[in-house]
Structure 1
Amino acid sequence: MSESAAQGRTIGAVDVMRVMEMIPHRYPFLLIDKAVDLIADVSAVGIKNVSINEAFFQGHFARQPVMPGVLIIEAMAQTAAVLVAHTLGKAAEGKLVYFMSVDGARFRRPVVPGDQMRVHVTKDRNRGSVWKFNGEAKVDGNVVAEATITAMIRDD
């Protein structure tokens, strides 16, 4: 499906099983539990239910667990990859999407066990296999992190 034909095609939600069809990540590195409000070629929201059982909490930090900022950025990238797969259709599902750059990353407050993180990504632009997104992670409606990410979908 062409991007122009896909633009605006909306899906209310995809569960974790569908997310795993769309992107190649698996536990313990799958960092979104579902995606909602997918609008092809425009935006998506990834949802991460943050649990004390996450492997990274064993060492970051054991007495005061905090989700690592790099994993929040990775959750943005995974949400963006779901948006790319939704936009491009079945042919793009499961393909690798590689980071090219992360710009303007800001962390406003820690994400801790019990939080539900909503990762909002909006497509800025794309040229060929290179895509640029603006991302914001929110907990209880408050921005906890933001970044602009550029990634390339691998076509092999």
Structure 2
Amino acid sequence: MNSLTTKQIQEIIPHRHPFLLVDYIEDFEPGEFGIGYKCVTYREDFFAGHFPQEPVMPGVLIIEALAQVGAVAILSLDENKGKIAFFGGINKCRFKGKVKPGDKLRLETKIIRHKGPMGVGEAVASVDGKVVAQAELTFMVGAAQ
């Protein structure tokens, strides 16, 4: 198993607080897949407004967290080191449950197609074994400026 700490994740992808949405990577294979976790706390900045009466992690941030795990997998390839993975599209996206403070969000992204700078990942987010979101994420790898 290839695990990564938050510091090691930051050596691969450019995201930083408050937009780094992955706490650690449990396992990954460069160019193949990534499995990571986000430990959701009540102190997340987005809960101040989404929603004060019933805090729920915004769906777009769950998808972003899945993309960040996929970015770890794709940017770990030697030819992509130092580059950035950008969204090219989000398809077949479905939300099936809420993510609340105290949840440990499991993020799994499998790269199913990759040719040149473009690719597609199948992404699934779950809490306690229950799928809360899934999507097909298209990405493009580009140079950092």
TM-score above 0.5, yes or no: yes
Query: For each residue in 1:85-105, what CA deviation from the matched residue of structure 2 results, as whole angstroms up to 9, or x when unmatched?
Result: 22x13x533422110100011
Aligned mates of 1:38, 1:96 — CA distance in 2: 18
State the 1:154 CA deviation.
Answer: 0.5
Give every structure 1 segment of 4 or more consecutive aligned residues whose post-TM-superposition deviation is greater than 4 Å. none
Show the counterpart of 1:126.
Answer: 114
Show the counterpart of 1:37.
Answer: 27
Residue 39 of structure 2 corresponds to residue 49 of structure 1:
yes
Query: For each residue in 1:99-152, what CA deviation from the matched residue of structure 2 results, as whole angstroms up to 9, or x when unmatched?
Result: 010001100010000000010111111110001000000100110000000010
Aligned mates of 1:123, 1:69 — CA distance in 2: 21
Show the counterpart of 1:152.
Answer: 140
TM-score by length of 2: 0.95
Unaligned runs of at least 5 residues, structure 2:
none
C-alpha contact (below 8 Å) 1:32/1:47 kept by paired residues: yes
C-alpha contact (below 8 Å) 1:133/1:150 kept by paired residues: yes
Secondary structure (helix, strand or coil) at the match of 2:83 reads coil
C-alpha contact (below 8 Å) 2:75/2:84 kept by paired residues: no
**Alpha-carbon RMSD:** 1.2
Unaligned runs of at least 5 residues, structure 1:
1-10
Show the counterpart of 2:15.
Answer: 25
Show the counterpart of 1:58.
Answer: 48
Show the counterpart of 1:69.
Answer: 59
